[in-house]
Each structure stands twice: as C-alpha cells, then as structure tokens.
C-alpha cells in the first residue's frame, strides 16, 4: 500500500470498511481516461486507494487524516473525465457517490441546493415540475451539476439563456484543504441565495474561473441557479425506444430551427442580432464534420472521398441550431418573427419551426438535458478541444476562422482526420455580445497521427491566441507545460498567481492540480 | 469470443456513467433513477458496467492481473443487462453485458470460481439440474395429465419446457401442471419430458461455464428434436434467455421457434381462445419485467467482428427486442384489474436481484435489490406485484412488503 | 526622515506624481464624513493619472510601509467612511484624475473607463452612442462608476445582473503588494491597445484560467487592490419606452409578482419601494403617497431594433396577464408622477448635491442587506418596530428593495433620518436584522464586528485573502478589521 497503514485504518474508521479500498483493480477503474486530454495516454495515475465518504463530516474527517499524514487526495462527483484523476501514486481518490441528495428546491427563489452525486437529469426533472430549469453541462444528464458549477469550466447550449456553468453557483458548503467545514456566503445561516461576502468574495478565490477540478478542497453542497421554464414538465414518450426513436411530444410553444450560413461574416451578424433580441433558450453552432462523423460515420467517410460532395457539405459547415420557448403566445410570435428576420438579414438558410418531425423532436429533447452527448465522445469519432477564449462574438469568430485555417492546412497535409476543417463550437452567452468558442478537432484514437495531431493543433491554435491577442488563454491552458510557458509571462503571470492561491489555502499541496 | 476481443469496447468507454442510471428522459423520482443493482449496493465504480469494462481493459492491457478481486467484482452482479441497455440508448459500439460474460469466462478458465458456483455446474452434469438437488426430488407435475411424453416416443407440436425451478418447487410444479392442463383443454398439441426433462443450464452460461452449458444445451436440443416439436414454450424466463441468446451464440441450434409461455397465452388470447372473467373487486397491480424475459432475452444475431460503430442496428442487441408486451396484454385483459406502471420498466427495469449466481454468494445484494424493487412498487399504490419469472417471484416475495404473483396465477384464475 | 517623507520623496523623484501636502487642503478631505467612524487627516493625497503611477505608489508604499487609503470619486463626502483614512500617517491615493473614458464599443455594448470616471460623465458620453449605463438607484452623479460597482452596489436591472460583479467586467488592478494584474479580458495576452485593435470587447470578467480575482476584490472596501480601469457592460437606450406600475399593500404578493416578471425577462429597470421611498426618490407629494397602496413595483419597458413597438407592448401585456393572475393591476401611469420624470429617475443619476440618501445636516441610518423577496415583509415589519421603539416615526422609514440576480435574491435597504437617535437605531436595527438572517454582504460601521462573529468561516479565510493581495497590510488599514483579525492560516 502506498499510504501508511495507520492512515488507511483511520480513514476506514471514519467511512466504514465497505467504503474504502486499495484494491489495485478497483483503483484501476478510476484511472482510465482516454478522453478530454491532449496527450494520447489511456492510463492516468492509479490512485493508492478509493474512499467514499457519506457525509460532509466524513469528508472533513478524511481530509484531516490526509493532513495529518500528508497524503495527497483528489475528489470527484460523477467522475466524467480525466480532470479529476489522481495525479500522484500516493493519491487517494475521493468518490462522492454516496452524497446524492437534492437538499432543497426553492421554487420561489429559483434555487436548488444539491450534493455532489445529484445528477443533472434528476435536477432537471425536479425543476421542470416547478416550471423551472437548470443550467446543465453538455457532459450530459448523468453528470454532476455540482461538479460543473464548483469545479470545472464549460459551455453549454443553454449558455445564451443561462450563462456559464461557473456563474451558476450561489452559496456552497465546502471542506477546506485543512479539513474544516466551511459555509460560503449565506450558507453560514443555511440559506443559499448568495455566495459573496461578507466582505471580499472568498467564493471567487476557491471557485475561480475554470475551476480547480477537485484540487481545491472538496465541495459538499452547492446552490444552483434555476431559470424560468415554459416548456414541458415531463417527456411524454408513447413508445419504448430510445430518445432518437422516441415520439416525444414537444409542446407548441417550443420551436426548433437550423440556421445555416455560408459566410462567417453573416454568421457573426446573426449572432449579434440573436443576442440583442434575447430570443434563444438554446443555441449553438455545431461542426457538421464532427457531429456527422460521430452519428453517421458510414455516410461521411464515403462522402468525403468525393470532392464535389465534400464541397457541398462544406457549404453547410456553419450550422447553428436554435431552440426558442415562448412564455406566452405573443412572446412566441415575437421570437419566431425575430428568428425569421435575422435569418433573412444574414443570408441564412433557415429550416424548422414547429417541432413536428422526428429529427426536430430528437434534437429538442436531446438539447433539454444534453441526452445523447455521450454519443459524441465515442472513441473513433471523438474530439479534442484545442482552444477558444470567451470574448466578443466577433473575436470568437476570428478565433474560429484561424483555427479553421490551421486545421485545413493539417487536413491537406494528411496530419489529422478530415472533419471539413471548421470545428467551431460557438455560441452566445448571457443574451449578450459575449461569445464562447471551442476549436474542436475530430480524432480517431486508433491512429497515431490523429493522436499526435491533438497536441500540434493545441499548440498552433494557442500561438494564434498569443500573437494575435484574440481574447485570452481559454482552453489553451490545457495544452501542457509549453502553453503555460508561452502564456504566463504575457498573461498577468496567471500561473504564478494560481500557485500562490493554492499555496495559501493548501500549503502542502495535498490536492494536486491536474493540468499543470 | 474472448476477453481480448472486447478491448476496443472497453477502451472506448468514456466513463459517462449512463450505465448507472435509467435514461434521463425516463426519470420520475430520485429514488428510482438508478438502474444497476451492483453499483447501487457496492458503490465503487468497478461494480458498474463501465467499471467492469475498465477491469477488462486493465487485464487486457497488462495493467493488472485476473485475481480473486476480479472474481468478486464480476460475480457480485446480477448480469441483469441494465447497463448494456442504458449504454446502448446512446452508443452501439460497446457490448457492456458481453464484457461481463467474458470476464466470467476468464475467471472460470483461470479457476477463479466460487465453490457455490462450482457446485451448480457439478449438479448440472451429475444431477441433471442446476439447483444442486437430488434428481429423485423432481416433481412429476405431468402426472395425471393426458400429455404427450418424449420418453413414450410421442411427437407433438409444442414442447413445453418447465425448467428446474418449476420442477423442484411444489407450488410451482402445481402451477405448471395447471397451465399445461389449460393449454391441453384448449387443444394445444403439447409434448413434454416430465421428470426426464433435461436442464436448460442457463446458469452455466451466466456463470461463465459455457462449455458445460453447451454440453447440457445439446442434450436438451436432442430431446426437443426427438419430440418432433416445431415450437418450444418455456415456463422459465431464464431458460428463455438461454434458448434465444446463449444457445445460438455457443453453437447450439434448437431448430424450433422459441416462445415464452406468456407469448403463447397472448397469441391464444388474441385469437379469441379464452373467455376472461373480471376480478370481483377492483384491484391495482404493477408489473415487474424479469430481465430474462425482457432485455436479456433479445435474440442473438451474430458475433460482429467489424467496427461496431458501423454495426447495423439490426445486428446490435439493444434489449428493445425483449418480451415486454405479452404479460401486460394478459394482465390488461382481466376486468377490474388496473395495471399501474413503475418508473423503471421494460428495458430500463430494475432487476429483482435473483440472477446469475448472486443468490449463492451475495445474499445481501439479492435482498437489498429485491427490497428496492418492492419499495418502487409501493410508490405506485398497487395492491400487488405481478411478474413472469419464478426466480423474480421468489426474490420479491422474500423481500416482503407486497405480495408478488406470477402472471400465470392470474391467467389460471381468470382465463377459461 | 520619517517613512512618509521618504516615501513622498521617492515618489516625486521617480514618477512626477501630483502630491497634495497642504495641511488645510488635507483637513478638508475628511470634512464630509457621514459615517459614524472617526477619520484622520491624511499625511498626503496623491493624484496618479496612469496605471504605472499607481503601481509605483503602491510599490513604494510597500517599501516604506506607508498605509494607503484609496478614493476614486472626486469631492470629499463619504457615507460609509471606507474612502477616508483611519490610521495616522496615511496617504490617500485619489483616482479622481484618472477620469478618461477610454473606449466605447457600440457593437458589443461595452465601455472602458478609468477609476475616476463618474456616472454622470459616463452616461453623458454614452448617450452620444445611443447607450446608457445601468447603475445603482439614483447613483450619485459624482460617484465613481468603478467604486460603486466594486462595492457591489446593485444596479437596477435584475435580469441583466447574471452574477457578481455585473455589470463590471475586466479590470486592470494593482495589488496591495504593488503587483500589476489584469482580471478577465484585461489579463491579455497583449496590451489593451493590442486587444482592442484585434477587436476584443474586454467583456470577460473572469479569468485568466483558474483565477477570478476581480470578483474576489469586490466588497473588499479598498483593502486588497486598486482598480485603475475596468470595462463595464452598457445597454442600448432603445427606440421607444414605457413605464409600468403595480401596487399592493401586500409585499408578499407584489414580491412574488416581481419575481415572476423578472424571471421571464419582462421589463428593464425595476425597483420595489414603500410609500416613503416613492416620495423621497420619485418626488411624489405626501398627499399622493398617503392615498396609494403601501408598496409600488416600478419598471420600465423598452423597445429596440427588432419590432420595437411590438416587443414593448408584448412585454407590457405579459406583465398585465401575470398581474391579473396575481390579483394585481398594471398601470401605465401613477397619479402625481410624470412618466418622463419617473423614467429619468430610473435611468439617470441624482442631481449634483441632491443624493437621495444624503441630505445635508441630517444624521441618517442607512442599513442594507441581502436576502430573498419572500422575507421583505418580515424584515420591514421588524424595521418599523425597531424605529418606533427608538422613538422615530415608522412612516418616515424608506424601504427600498432591489431584486437582483434574476430575482433569486434582493438588496433590502432601510433608510431613516434619525437625528441624535441614529447610532442607537442603527445598532438595534442591525442586530435585529442580523439575528433574523439578514446577509450583510458589505459590512460597515457598528455592525461589522457582529457580522464577522457570525460568519466565522469567511473570517477564517480572510487573512489568506489579504495575504495574497497585500501581505504587508498597507491598503486601507482599519477597514474590515474585524474580518482580517480572524485567525491566521
């Protein structure tokens, strides 16, 4: 065992023998992550042990033992992705699966307080019963909204109407790196309506922007912001099949559109107008090359071999899906009119409207809870996010154009999979001119060149951000040491400051950060 | 197929955790959103469908070795197939349940076998049953019925397979007899082996002893062939999965149409062969889908050796082709009986816990899993639970809290 | 040579900063202290005009261990005392001469302003671009935009206040330890000029990467860092507008209605006021307010570029439908109040020397806290009882409720002119509210210690926050002292 036997016994006493293991094979199931990382390794560090506390008190007791013996630890909720993997051989991984309660759902004030293992699907279902909805992450309904709002950076198709995940947390309960139970903001009085103060915002210190992915104490409760929802209170699915086959009944006040632009300039114009009119509940630009390869690989592989068909597909590369929800008949009419007008003004092809065919039904149902996104992370046909920094819509468009230029070069040189070049996953946020862009690349982990293309693409894209001043570091931060060295001196020494924050709150660095 | 053949499936699992929950669009309550009994009981990721894929990958990649720990993980699982179903809601390139079967085979090949399970296999070859019972204890349910027997050299249209549980349990044997009697009364040309009935050996397959299973299966196939039947109707849901999935997968061709008893009764009912009485008092029932009548029983098509992302849907076992409607048709046919559904039904049903060797080595898993199902049934406000598998019936009744009956009991009570 | 002399000498030589050391002038800087905390005359006031000068001033302050108090607004009035020095031998860094509006971006609806830019100044300029700045209720015309927003003063449009620190975005700041830092878009890479040239709107408030230090320093009362310039979100004025008033004697009903309206993103600026509040802020005659229901919800509706009239009328009609469902009525007019004036109050700043909270010669009690709309009733009843107990007329109590963060919480402010009973009333009211779970996001004055005693966790970590920005403790010593006095890490 890589941790002291006495420590193991003390932890065992806190959580119970059935909730701790150092079995190598069980630990191995917490260390395989091929996805969401630019380096082509399957095996992450195998944790020394897995511990499963069942309450905040047990979490605190565990962290205190870690401090006593200087044992490294890392926590995760539903555990999707390498971000929360162990980072040292003597690291104990905390699986928060046993903490799975919705503590409170406050309809009047639009707040849900949840424990780490509450899933997005569960929160969304409960919220819908009250005419509310939650800002879920595109990781899907089986993943933890607490993890998303407390510890990770991510966009989502609801960002236009619900904002970034990290801006969706109110007060929280947190076990500090020294094992104290800390009630942040109004949580001190068991109310969760605000996170900041009294005085400076400690919440901002421990949450930060991207989130520390389990390396900054352990969040045990978080208040999620809920939003008004005039859509269905439940899915009505007359048949038994999966969501793609299901004849989901979508109410008439929900409309779904696909808006296709041929030129970036037109897309940009449309996005500014969509932001101004605040009509979208969900919206995002998808890469037809990547989603197509994921869902229809047989068709795409053949189509890409035929130059004329490939060109035809490229014409639809800039595909934005839009879902609108009318809060009243007049609100719906207005939103429909706006979408149609914006499409007209921006030379778009607009398809859709009433959600009355299987494609639109599946799309809307899938967007509501991000069902089906798991399909996009499926090995060959999976993808890598290279860069993207949130800034003005037209800066995000510039980022996307640059990323497309780089990738087209790589495709022409046979250095990466052909996904038609444009991989921008682009959207507007908070009904404003702030955009979010992810430069996405199709990968096939079975192919050596495709794997090494991930890092090349990350580095090349980050150079563009650095030299052309296109809005910040964004996802380039996950490009490894090289990008840290590139960006730290020219970006307010963010890395040095981050280490200082860590050093003040977790002086022994027991919870290791993953990507640095 | 061998464990190594699943390395791609194992490697492409992205740990999304869909295998742990019912599809989000089916969620109705926090208590009923979980779908996997094993991880619900033991919590560590290894116990989930994804975790077992990763255990397989670890072994295949030489990162860890097959061990008693592997055995403990892979056998503390009811092999209910819920993980496979929920994964395939979104993916078609991972056969989660097949990976568990391969891990079990690997354990068997390396002698990592629980004595309780070995005893079952020994009983199949020595006693001709998988219940470790003295063959002499088999109940001759056919006695007194005017029913054709294979041993008598008879030939019939439909071979009625009772299954070990029905053959060795007095109440169930009696029910089998009554069902056979009803069928005979309706002019069905039944043939059976009675006390000579070979075991279906479904447990051998579930436990990873596929050779022992195939040996036994061949004996049963031979018996059915002798009967001249064109159809085999099984009273035992576990045998149903064996006949439709394991047998063809391991090269045993029964050469006949396979039906579960509820399917035959449904056909007869829809053909107008029954008059159905109404219950005296209004009664609410809920129906528990047995895994082996439902998702696990989806017929085997082929070993797909190509890139599974390109596998045609018709060759992908999603679980949707299990039998879900037949028992419901029978229940709904009875007047004054209202069927109220639980949250977790059909392909996304919660298991009763009584499967794949769990009863022998992890009684608490069985007990907790069954209790979980009874709690869910109680949420519906039903007066009783109905199922269509003798092992489910046993497990759910042992959990207490609500009476569980077999749909055949209702048929015998109301169908004439 | 004393520290302060050496400090000033070093600054003069190195930077050419404008420095005020005239005793009479210095005395004047604390002449309008409306707080109940004692200020001391500073040893000097320095007026930087560049980021580099602020950086140099703080670096030198660290070197010579000179306490520094920062003030962003011109003038010398202070309601809370945070911009006045409390420690002998302090230097005041006055940012009022850093008052350039650096950039206005019509496309992205952003403005970049230096720390000394006032609401009046910014709005005047924005108007030329068809824009306006959403600001706190009748913000002081001469108040620094950045200072108000850093203090989490709530702006009037709850639907645009997605999260703290909206509408404040990127910030260029100098930590107490003298290090320069950019928060959000201001982090770079690249200079502000390079980023603007590339088309950036500087509209990202968070980052870079793991950091969100701009948000950390909100509510810190100048004790962590000095913000030199920042970007703020601004809004389009629109092409048409309309007022809507909904009244009720029952704040529970009206508060719930406000929540339903705001969550649907209906209306723009919106406030809830009691009768006295209506009279003070909107200038209604007491005879009008006496006759009207106890509470008024006032909101504006605007139309923009796409189908403006239709949008505006739809919003209004949706509000009417919701009101009908709640047994309320929406009116387009209010007796005794001219709509143009009402609109100007919501969308504009106070007139110079006519700030609604501050009337010369009066000692006021001004307490504000955060909670949810459903507790306003309880808090108001408690507040009325307290002021009555203190011998004041409850009818004179202004209650101002500002829904925030899409109505998930609200700012509740109680203000009364209390004369010689001010200190007693403030203490009692603050204690009663604190005991009833009022959340004081910005603790001031007599309540500070009691608040930090209650919020032990926050207090536990405040030394770490302070150490990160200002390890020598030179910034605003004495402010938030009860917080920073909590245990050390």
What domains can you pick out in chain A, each with its CATH number? 5-95 (3.30.43.10), 102-228 (3.30.465.10), 254-479 (3.40.462.10)
Q: Roughly how many angstroms between the first and final C-alpha of chain A, as a whole number?
A: 26
Alpha carbon distance A306, C119 (integer Å): 61
Domain boundaries, chain C: 3-94, 101-236, 240-347, 364-445, 452-484
Residues of A in contact with B91 (CB under 8 A): 374-375, 378
For residue C230, what are the β-bridge partners? C113, C171
Q: A69-83, A163-177, C445-459 — which one is most confidently predicted on average? A: A163-177
Distances (CA, A) of C437 to A189, A489, C392: 7, 45, 24
Interface-testing mutation among B13, B27, B319, with chain A (most A C-beta atoms within 10 A): B27
Q: Do C and B touch, counting CB pairs below 8 Å (3 needed)?
A: no
pLDDT reading at A39 higher than 80: no
Mean pLDDT of chain B: 96
- Determine the residue of chain A that is closest to C164 in CA distance: A196
pLDDT reading at B87 higher than 80: yes
What CATH code would you report for C101-236? Answer: 3.30.465.10
Alpha carbon distance C356, C282 (integer Å): 10
- Determine the residue of chain A that is closest to B89 in CA distance: A242
Q: Token digits for B95?
A: 């056969």
* CATH class held by domain C3-94: alpha beta
Give the DSSP per-residue string, C315-366.
HHHHHHHHHHHTT--EES-BTTB-HHHHHHHHHSPPPTT--TT--TT--EEE
Mean pLDDT of chain A: 91
- Determine the residue of chain A that is closest to C190 in CA distance: A469
Mean pLDDT of chain C: 93
Q: Do B17 and A19 touch (CB under 8 A)?
A: no
SS3 A273: helix
CB-facing half-sphere around the CA of C188: CA atoms within 13 A: 19
What average pLDDT does range A270-277 have in this prediction?
98
The shortest CB-CB distance from A494 to any of C187, C200, C439 is to C187
- For chains A and C, count residue pairs whose Cβ atoms are closer than 8 Å: 315
Band of residue A229 on the pLDDT scale cut at 50, 70, 90: very high
Distance of CA C386 to the CA centre of its chain: 26
Distance of CA A66 to the CA centre of its chain: 29
pLDDT reading at C76 higher than 80: no
Q: Give every CB contact of residue C334 below 8 A, 6+ residues apart in sequence.
A: C243, C245, C284, C292, C296, C298, C342
Q: Do A382 and B89 touch (CB under 8 A)?
A: no
Distance (Å) from the C-alpha of residue A3 to the closest C-alpha of chain C?
26
Per-residue model confidence (pLDDT) at position A317: 82
Band of residue A516 on the pLDDT scale cut at 50, 70, 90: low
Alpha carbon distance B73, A27 (integer Å): 12
Distance (Å) from the C-alpha of residue C193 to the closest C-alpha of chain A?
10
Alpha carbon distance B160, B240 (integer Å): 12
pLDDT reading at A366 higher than 60: yes
CATH of C364-445, one of 3.30.200, 3.30.410, 3.40.50, 3.30.70: 3.30.70
What average pLDDT does range B116-122 have in this prediction?
98
* Cβ pair C186, C202 in contact under 8 A: yes
Distance (Å) from the C-alpha of residue C151 to the closest C-alpha of chain A?
9
Alpha carbon distance C35, C430 (integer Å): 15
pLDDT reading at C428 higher than 50: yes
Instruction: Tell me the pairing of strands A91-95 and A49-51.
Output: parallel
Instruction: Tell me the pairing of strands C180-183 and C168-175.
Output: antiparallel
pLDDT reading at C480 higher than 60: yes
Residues of B in contact with A102 (CB under 8 A): 30
Q: Do B15 and A241 touch (CB under 8 A)?
A: no
Q: Would C240-347 and C364-445 be classified into the same CATH topology?
A: yes
What average pLDDT does range C376-394 have in this prediction?
98
Selected residues 25-84 of chain A with any CB under 8 Å from a CB in chain C: none
Chains with at least 3 CB pairs less than 8 angstroms from chain C: A
Span of A171-175, A333-337, B15-19, B295-299 with lowest mean pLDDT: B15-19
Interface-testing mutation among A222, A272, A472, A490, with chain C (most C C-beta atoms within 10 A): A472
Distance (Å) from the C-alpha of residue A279 to the closest C-alpha of chain C?
11
Per-residue model confidence (pLDDT) at position C489: 31
* Cβ pair A465, A474 in contact under 8 A: yes
Distance of CA A377 to the CA centre of its chain: 13
At B12-71, the pLDDT tens digits run 888 889 999 999 989 999 999 999 999 999 999 999 999 999 999 999 999 999 999 999
* Cβ pair A161, A282 in contact under 8 A: yes
- The larger pLDDT score, comparing residue A391 to residue C26, is at A391
Residues of A in contact with B24 (CB under 8 A): 119-121, 124-125, 140-142, 369, 371
Q: What is the pTM of this model?
A: 0.96
pLDDT reading at A392 higher than 60: yes
Residues of A in contact with C454 (CB under 8 A): 188-189
Q: Token digits for C214?
A: 């701009």
Q: What is the DSSP letter of C300?
A: E
Residue with tokens 């302050």: C61
Interface-testing mutation among A337, A492, A514, with chain C (most C C-beta atoms within 10 A): A492
What average pLDDT does range A161-175 have in this prediction?
96
Interface-testing mutation among A175, A188, A200, with chain C (most C C-beta atoms within 10 A): A200
H or E element, residue C92: strand C91-94
Span of A102-106, A110-114, A165-169, C442-446 with lowest mean pLDDT: C442-446
Distance (Å) from the C-alpha of residue C286 to the closest C-alpha of chain A?
33
The shortest CB-CB distance from C314 to any of A183, A207, A334 is to A334
SS3 B133: coil
Q: Do A242 and B50 touch (CB under 8 A)?
A: no
Q: Do A125 and B27 touch (CB under 8 A)?
A: yes
Selected residues 337-356 of chain A with any CB under 8 Å from a CB in chain C: 337-338, 341-342
The shortest CB-CB distance from A80 to any of B17, B89, B310 is to B17
Residues of B in contact with A50 (CB under 8 A): 44-45
CA angle C55, C59, C62 (to 5 degrees): 145
Q: Give every CB contact of residue C448 below 8 A, 6+ residues apart in sequence.
A: C480, C481, C482, C483
Alpha carbon distance B304, B316 (integer Å): 9
Residue among B264, B203, B265, B263 nearest B239 (CA) = B203
Residues of C in contact with A182 (CB under 8 A): 457, 460-461
* Cβ pair A433, C110 in contact under 8 A: yes
Residues of C in contact with A184 (CB under 8 A): 457-458
At C263-276, the pLDDT tens digits run 999 999 999 999 99
Band of residue B223 on the pLDDT scale cut at 50, 70, 90: very high
Residue A254 has φ and ψ, to the nearest 5°, of -110, 130
Query: What share of chain A in percent tops pLDDT 70?
Result: 94
Residue C29 has φ and ψ, to the nearest 5°, of -65, -20
CB atoms within 10 A of CB B126: 11
For residue A223, what are the β-bridge partners? A113
**Where does CATH 3.40.50 sit in chain B?**
128-270
Alpha carbon distance A459, A448 (integer Å): 18
Q: Do B17 and A377 touch (CB under 8 A)?
A: no
What CATH code would you report for C240-347? Answer: 3.30.70.3450
H or E element, residue C183: strand C180-183
Distance (Å) from the C-alpha of residue A53 to the closest C-alpha of chain C?
22
Domain B128-270 has CATH 3.40.50: yes
Q: Give every CB contact of residue A20 below 8 A, 6+ residues apart in sequence.
A: A8, A11, A12, A49, A50, A51, A52
Residue C403 has φ and ψ, to the nearest 5°, of -60, 145
- For chains A and B, count residue pairs whose Cβ atoms are closer than 8 Å: 161
* Cβ pair A284, A157 in contact under 8 A: yes
Q: Token digits for B159?
A: 């071979």
Instruction: Tell me the pairing of strands B335-339 and B278-287.
Output: parallel
Q: Do B45 and A95 touch (CB under 8 A)?
A: yes
Q: Give every CB contact of residue B288 below 8 A, 6+ residues apart in sequence.
A: B342, B349, B352, B373, B377, B385, B386, B387, B392, B396, B404
Residue B53 has φ and ψ, to the nearest 5°, of -65, -40
Residues of C in contact with A391 (CB under 8 A): 185, 200-204
ipTM confidence score: 0.95
CA angle C397, C403, C407 (to 5 degrees): 145
Residues of B in contact with A24 (CB under 8 A): 64, 69
At C178-227, the pLDDT tens digits run 999 999 999 999 999 999 999 999 999 999 999 999 999 999 999 999 99
- Determine the residue of chain C that is closest to A178 in CA distance: C489
Interface-testing mutation among B45, B70, B319, with chain A (most A C-beta atoms within 10 A): B45
């Amino acid at each position: 065992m890589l941790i002291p036997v006495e420590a193991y016994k003390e932890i065992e006493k806190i959580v119970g023998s059935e909730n701790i293991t150092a079995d190598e094979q069980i630990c191995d199931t917490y260390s395989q992550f091929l996805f969401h990382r630019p380096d082509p390794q399957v095996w992450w560090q195998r944790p020394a042990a897995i511990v499963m506390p069942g309450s905040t008190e047990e979490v605190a007791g565990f962290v205190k033992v870690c401090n006593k013996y200087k044992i490294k630890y890392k926590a995760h909720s539903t555990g999707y992705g390498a971000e929360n993997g162990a980072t040292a051989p003597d690291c104990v991984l905390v699986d928060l699966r046993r903490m799975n309660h919705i503590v409170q759902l406050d309809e009047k004030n639009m707040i849900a307080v949840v424990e780490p293992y509450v899933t997005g699907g569960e929160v969304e279902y409960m919220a819908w019963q009250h005419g509310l909805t939650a800002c879920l992450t595109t990781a899907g309904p089986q993943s933890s909204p607490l993890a998303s709002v407390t510890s990770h950076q991510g966009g989502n198709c609801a960002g236009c109407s619900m904002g970034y995940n990290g801006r969706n947390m109110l007060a929280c309960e947190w076990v500090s790196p020294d094992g104290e139970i800390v009630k942040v903001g109004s949580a001190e009085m068991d109310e969760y309506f605000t996170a900041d103060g009294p005085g400076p915002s400690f919440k901002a210190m421990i949450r930060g922007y991207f989130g520390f992915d389990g390396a900054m104490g352990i969040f045990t409760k978080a208040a999620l912001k809920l939003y008004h929802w005039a859509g269905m209170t439940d899915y009505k699915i007359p048949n038994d099949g999966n969501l793609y086959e299901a004849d989901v009944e979508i109410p008439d006040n929900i409309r779904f559109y696909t808006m296709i632009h041929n030129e970036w300039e037109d897309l940009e114009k449309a996005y500014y107008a969509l932001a101004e009119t605040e009509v979208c509940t969900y919206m995002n630009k998808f890469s037809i090359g990547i989603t197509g390869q994921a869902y229809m690989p047989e068709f795409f592989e053949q189509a890409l071999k035929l130059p004329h068909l490939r060109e035809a597909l490229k014409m639809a590369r800039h595909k934005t899906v839009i879902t609108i929800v009318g809060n009243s008949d007049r609100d719906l009419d207005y939103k429909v009119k706006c979408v149609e007008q914006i499409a007209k003004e921006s030379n778009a092809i607009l398809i859709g409207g009433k959600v009355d065919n299987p494609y639109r039904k599946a799309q809307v149902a899938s967007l509501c809870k991000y069902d089906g996104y798991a399909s996009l992370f499926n090995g060959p046909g999976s993808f890598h996010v290279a860069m993207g920094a949130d800034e003005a819509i037209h800066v995000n468009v510039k980022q996307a154009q640059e990323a497309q230029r780089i990738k087209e070069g790589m495709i022409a040189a046979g250095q990466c999979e052909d996904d038609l070049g444009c991989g921008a996953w682009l959207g507007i946020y908070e009904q404003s001119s702030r955009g979010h862009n992810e430069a996405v690349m199709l990968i096939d982990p079975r192919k050596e060149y495709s794997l090494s293309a991930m890092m090349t693409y990350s580095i090349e894209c980050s150079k563009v951000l650095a030299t052309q001043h296109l809005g910040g570091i964004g996802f380039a931060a996950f490009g490894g040491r090289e990008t840290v060295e590139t960006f730290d001196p020219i970006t307010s020494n963010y890395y040095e400051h981050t280490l200082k924050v860590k050093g003040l709150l977790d002086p022994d660095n027991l919870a290791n950060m993953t990507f640095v | 197929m061998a464990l190594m053949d699943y390395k791609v499936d194992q490697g492409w699992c992205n740990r999304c955790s869909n295998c742990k929950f019912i599809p989000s669009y089916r969620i109705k309550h926090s208590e009923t959103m979980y779908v996997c009994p094993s991880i619900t009981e033991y919590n560590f990721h290894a116990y989930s469908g994804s975790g077992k894929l990763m255990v397989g990958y670890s072994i295949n990649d030489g990162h860890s070795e097959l061990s008693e720990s592997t055995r403990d993980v892979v056998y503390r699982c009811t092999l209910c197939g819920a993980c496979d179903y929920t994964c395939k809601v979104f993916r078609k390139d991972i056969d989660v349940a097949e990976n568990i079967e391969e891990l079990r085979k690997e354990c068997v090949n390396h002698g990592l076998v629980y004595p309780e399970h070995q005893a079952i296999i020994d009983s199949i070859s020595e006693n001709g049953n998988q219940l470790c019972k003295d063959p002499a204890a088999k109940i001759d349910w056919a006695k007194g019925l005017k029913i054709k027997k294979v041993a008598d050299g008879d030939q019939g249209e439909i071979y009625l397979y009772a299954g070990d549980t029905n053959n060795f349990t007095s109440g169930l044997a009696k029910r089998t007899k009554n069902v056979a009697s009803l069928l005979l009364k309706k002019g069905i040309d039944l043939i059976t082996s009675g006390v000579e009935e070979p075991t279906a050996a479904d447990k051998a397959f579930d436990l990873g002893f596929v050779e022992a299973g195939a040996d036994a299966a061949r004996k049963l196939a031979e018996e059915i062939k002798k009967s001249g039947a064109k159809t085999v109707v099984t009273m035992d849901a576990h045998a149903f999965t064996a006949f439709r999935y394991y047998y063809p997968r391991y090269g045993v061709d029964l050469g006949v149409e396979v039906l579960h008893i509820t399917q035959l009764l449904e056909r007869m009912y829809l053909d107008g062969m029954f008059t159905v009485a109404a219950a005296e008092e209004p009664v609410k029932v809920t129906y528990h889908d047995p895994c082996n009548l439902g998702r696990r029983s989806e017929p085997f098509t082929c070993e797909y050796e190509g890139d599974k992302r390109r596998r045609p849907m018709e060759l992908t076992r999603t679980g949707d082709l299990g039998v879900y409607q037949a028992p419901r048709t029978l229940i709904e046919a009875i007047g004054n009986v209202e069927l109220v559904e639980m949250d977790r039904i059909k392909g996304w049903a919660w298991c009763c816990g009584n499967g794949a060797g769990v009863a022998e080595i992890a009684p608490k898993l069985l007990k907790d899993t069954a209790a979980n199902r009874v709690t869910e049934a109680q949420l519906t406000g039903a007066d009783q639970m109905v199922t269509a598998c003798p092992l489910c019936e046993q497990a759910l009744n042992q959990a207490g809290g609500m009476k569980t009956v077999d749909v055949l009991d209702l048929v015998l009570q109301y169908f004439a | 040579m004393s520290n302060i002399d050496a400090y000033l000498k070093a600054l003069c030589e190195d930077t050419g900063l404008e420095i005020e050391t005239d005793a009479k002038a210095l005395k004047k800087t604390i002449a309008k202290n409306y707080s109940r905390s004692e200020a001391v005359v500073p040893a000097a006031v320095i007026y930087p005009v560049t980021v580099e000068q602020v950086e140099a001033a703080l670096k030198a302050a660290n070197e010579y261990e000179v306490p520094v108090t920062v003030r962003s607004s011109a003038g010398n009035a202070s309601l809370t005392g945070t911009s006045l020095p409390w420690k002998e031998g302090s230097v005041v860094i006055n940012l009022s001469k850093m008052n350039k509006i650096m950039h206005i971006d019509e496309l992205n609806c952003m403005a970049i302003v230096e720390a000394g830019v006032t609401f009046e100044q910014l709005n005047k300029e924005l108007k030329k671009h068809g824009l306006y700045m959403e600001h706190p209720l009748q913000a002081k015309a001469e108040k620094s935009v950045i200072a108000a927003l850093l203090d989490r003063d709530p702006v009037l449009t709850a639907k645009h206040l997605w999260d703290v620190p909206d509408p404040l975005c990127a910030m260029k700041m100098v930590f107490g330890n003298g290090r320069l830092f950019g928060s959000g878009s201001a982090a770079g890479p690249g200079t502000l000029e390079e980023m603007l040239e590339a088309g950036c709107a500087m509209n990202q408030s968070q980052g870079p990467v793991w950091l969100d230090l701009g948000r950390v320093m909100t509510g810190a009362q100048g004790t962590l860092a000095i913000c030199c310039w920042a970007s703020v979100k601004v809004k389009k004025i629109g092409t048409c507008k309309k007022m809507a008033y909904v009244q009720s004697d029952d704040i529970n009903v009206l508060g719930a209605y406000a929540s339903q309206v705001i969550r649907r993103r209906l209306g723009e600026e919106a406030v809830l006021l009691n009768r006295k509040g209506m009279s003070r802020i909107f200038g209604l005659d007491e005879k009008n307010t006496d006759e009207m229901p106890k509470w008024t919800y006032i909101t504006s509706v605007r139309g923009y570029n796409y189908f403006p009239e239709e949008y505006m009328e739809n919003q209004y009609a949706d509000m009417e439908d919701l009101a009908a469902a709640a047994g309320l009525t929406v009116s387009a007019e209010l007796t005794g109040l001219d709509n143009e004036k009402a609109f100007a109050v919501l969308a504009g700043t106070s007139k110079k020397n006519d700030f609604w909270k501050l009337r010369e010669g009066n000692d006021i009690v001004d307490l504000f806290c955060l909670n949810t709309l459903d507790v306003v009733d309880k808090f108001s009843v408690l507040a009325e009882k307290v002021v009555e107990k203190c011998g004041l007329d409850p009818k004179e109590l202004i209650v101002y409720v500002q829904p925030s963060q899409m109505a998930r919480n609200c700012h509740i402010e109680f203000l009364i002119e209390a004369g010689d009973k001010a200190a007693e009333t403030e203490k009692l009211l603050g204690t009663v509210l604190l005991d009833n779970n009022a959340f004081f996001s910005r603790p001031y004055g007599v309540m500070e210690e009691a608040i930090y005693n209650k919020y032990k966790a926050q207090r536990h970590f405040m030394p770490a926050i302070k150490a990160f920005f200002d390890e020598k403790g030179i910034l605003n010593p004495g402010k938030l002292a009860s917080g920073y006095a909590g245990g050390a890490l």
